Amino acid sequence: MAPTHLVAVPKEHFETIQDVPQKKADVLKKLFEAVGKMVKQQNLSANGYRLVINSGEHAGQLVPHLHAHIIVEREFGWPPG
């Protein structure tokens, strides 16, 4: 996918974003905070990065647990895929 590909995974299990109940929305806040921390610690933002959360098999979600991909060090086009 890219020379650098990191994955941020919440400890609490939810299969997809839509499975996170409103009362547990802090899980998403913590996920994005962790992504920001990883990007900063690894100095990944110099040339940009792509953050991807796949939802469902047809979108490419192979692991049935909410997680975010941080993809770095390659040029990306739009639309993706």
CB contact at 8 A, 68 and 7: yes
Active site residues: 67
At 49, which helix (H) or strand (E)? strand 49-52
Q: Please, what is the Cα angle at 74 between 43 and 4, to 5 degrees?
A: 50
